Amino acid sequence: MSTTSIASQGRAYLAIPGPSVMPEAVLQAMHRAAPNIYAGELIDIAASLVPDLKAVARTDGHVAMYIGNGHAAWEAALANTVAPDDTVLVPATGRFAHGWAEMAEGLGARAQILDFGKRAPWDLDQIADALRADTGHAIKAVLAVHVDTSTSVRNDVPALRRILDDLDHPALLMADCIASLGCDRFEMDAWGVDVMVTGCQKGLMVPPGMSFVFFNDRAQAVRAAMPRVSRYWDWEPRANPQEFFMYWNGTAPTHHLYGLRTALDMIHAEGIEHVWARHTLLARAIWAACETWAQTGPLELNVARAEDRSTAVTALRLGSPHGTALRDWVSEHLGLTLGIGLGMAPPGDPAWHGFFRLGHMGHVNGHMIMGLLGGIETGLTALDIPHGTGALEAAAQVIAKG
Ligand SMILES: *Cc1c(COP(=O)(O)O)cnc(C)c1O
């Protein structure tokens, strides 16, 4: 074996922005024989998830659970609220808003996209102009991605609510919190969000496979007025199940329920405010390191202003081919997997190799983040990519001061 990969064995670390690191306790909760789905503890566990999910989302509204990934929740939210020929307004700050818009178009809706590029948050004035111009109230919903995982831009959801209120526009405010829930502060009711979608494999720390649509009574009224809602995606029986199978429209995601039960216990034991504060502190350490590396050489944070950055994911620019080279090196030599750049350049374009992303969502603590940063520093050094010195010291200062 070559000595260059001498440091690769040991516990692997997947530092991509979803799926995230799974706690041992979650894995252990799932490691069991198949449970009965007709009677027994699974019935109670499913019912117990509902109030705890709502507590994480900060809502007294309703939640429907789906077996599916985040894309499933996107479709579910639309299937209950947006009919063919309806219009949705989609402010985009990266790949994911476009994906949600495409899903709406697939259901026959019209998507009016406002594209704000890949490095900055929504321009609220342009959103206000678009809503003001919609005097006939054709726009039925605004599809608002809270944190775009491809760019690591975080958008100001409460400000969007204020615009809708100021204009007296009746469009539903629908938020994608797939990357942000359980990481970045999000308060569904206080922020006036009507529909919120999320998945289980990011801040909720469970393997991919479940997703959730939260909705309030306003959204339910829109659902009630729909000409039809496809039976599978209908949120009504799932949110008000008369029988256990109605939660899922079929067989329950048995082992996910054990895993999610444990993950929610962990979140509630820590406290959601503490979870948010932990993500903020660790993100600030990452930014401090990145800003130090950026003092010399090609590395650059994708989002310039700290207040526009997610605390769950960080997108970085390193120039081609350094991004791919760094990811390959730390994977081969350190057992550390960094995220690819997503949607920043077309695959096949040499520029594609100029990006990478860090996932720091969910089950992450100080030593993991210092290890992640140390791994990047090691890769930059091994590959002779110029970078400012003192990044780890800068990160340590942030965490040390708390
Ligand atoms: C991960 C993610 C999605 C897609 O979720 P899947 O589970 O991959 O379908 C959508 N939106 C955002 C913001 C995400 O981070």
What residue spans define the domains of the chain? 25-253, 271-401
Mind listing the pLDDT tens digit for each residue in 14-32?
999 999 999 999 999 999 9
At 78, the pLDDT band (50, 70, 90 cuts) reads very high
Q: Tell me the pLDDT band of 306, cut-offs 50, 70 and 90.
A: very high
Candidate from 66, 96, 211 with most ligand 1 atoms within 8 A of CB, to mutate: 96
pLDDT band at 5, cuts 50/70/90? Answer: confident
> Among 178, 183, 206, which is best to mutate for testing ligand 1, by the most ligand atoms less than 8 A from CB?
178
Task: Give the number of the atom of ligand 1 that is nearest the alpha carbon of residue 147.
Answer: 13
Atom 3 of ligand 1 has which residue's CA nearest to it? 70
d(CA 181, CA 184): 6
| Ligand 1 atom nearest to 211, measured from its CA | 7
The pairing of beta strand 313-317 with beta strand 300-301? antiparallel
pTM of the prediction?
0.97
CB 95 within 8 A of CB 128: no
What is the topology classification, in CATH, of domain 25-253? Aspartate Aminotransferase; domain 2 (3.40.640)
Say how far apart CA 137 and CA 195 lie, in whole Å: 19
Tell me what pLDDT residue 1 has.
Answer: 47
CA–centroid distance, residue 237 to ligand 1 (Å): 24
Under 8 Å CB-to-CB from 41, ≥6 apart: which residues? Answer: 35
> Of the ranges 180-184, 241-245, 262-266, 390-394, which one carries the lowest mean pLDDT score?
241-245
Q: Give the integer Cα–Cα distance in Å for 310 and 150.
A: 11
Site of tokens 């069991």: 32
> What integer is the mean pLDDT of 34-38?
95
Q: Burial letters for 133-167: b for 16+ Cβ neighbours within 10 Å, e otherwise?
A: ebeeeebbbbbbbbbbbbbbbbbbbeebbebbeee
Report CA(179)–ligand 1 centroid distance (Å). Answer: 7
Distance CA 402, CA 396 (A): 10
Q: Is 199 close to ligand 1, i.e. is its CB under 6 Å away?
A: yes
Task: Identify whether the C-beta of residue 331 lies closer than 8 Å to the C-beta of residue 372.
Answer: no
CA distances from 147 to 184, 275, 393 (A): 8, 17, 28
Confirm or reject: Cβ of 70 under 6 Å from ligand 1. Answer: yes
Q: How far is the CA of 105 from the centre of ligand 1 (A)?
A: 18
Is pLDDT above 90 for 4? no
* Residue-level pLDDT at 358: 98
Substitution candidate for ligand 1 out of 149, 153, 211, 313 with most atoms within 8 A of CB: 149
Atom 4 of ligand 1 has which residue's CA nearest to it?
A: 70
- Percentage above 90 pLDDT, the chain: 98
What pLDDT was estimated at residue 2? 54
- Kindly state if the Cβ of 152 falls inside 6 Å of ligand 1: no
CATH number for 271-401: choose from 3.90.1150.10, 3.40.50.300, 3.40.1370.10, 1.10.274.10.
3.90.1150.10
Per-residue pLDDT tens digits for 125-169: 999 999 999 999 999 999 999 999 999 999 999 999 999 999 999
Q: What's the CA gap between 44 and 58, in Å, rounded?
A: 22
Sheet order of strands, 87-92 included: 62-67, 210-215, 195-199, 172-176, 139-145, 87-92, 110-115
Tell me the average pLDDT across 298-308.
Answer: 98
Mean pLDDT, the chain, rounded, equals 97
Q: What are phi and psi of 179, to 5 degrees?
A: -85, -30
Q: How far apart are CA 273 and CA 250, in angstroms?
A: 35
Across the range 335-355, mean pLDDT stands at 96
